[in-house]
Amino acid sequence: MENKKERKFIAVLKTADKNIADAKKVFEGPFGTVTQEDYDNYIKRMAVIDGATVLVVQDNFSNGNYGVISFHDNSLDKFKEFCYLAEQDLFFGSYRDAREKFDADWENDEYECRSVLTLEPHELEIKSEI
């Protein structure tokens, strides 16, 4: 196997077209009972970040996919909303129906998004390699 170096790119997210089939694919596996609300939340949070400028990485282990490292400053509002929606997750959410607490923790730099975002090549547009 060829040993490729980790590559980093500036990209724009193309995630507005998610549907129920995409959501079901994400929730495959040992998640237990997944509700329509969970699927809807996934679709909504992916739509929120559509158009966001991000830094992504692709490495030997990504199978052609990209991992989001950070959001550009001009996309931080989208990232914040994405994180809050991710926190509504029945299994992993820590701020379910707690918007005021989330906003306060965000403003006080006491919040760290634990959601990992991995994207397939069709879910972003590469602008440049850095």
Chain segment 90-110, per-residue pLDDT in tens: 777 899 999 999 999 999 999
125 touches 14 (CB < 8 A):
yes
Q: Which residue has the tokens 């997750």?
A: 89
State the DSSP string of 104-128: HHHHTT--------EE-GGGEEEEE
Q: Check residue 30 and give its pLDDT.
A: 66
pLDDT at 93: 86
**pLDDT higher than threshold 60 for residue 84:** yes
Q: The pTM is what?
A: 0.85
pLDDT at 72: 92
Residue 22 has pLDDT above 60, yes or no: yes
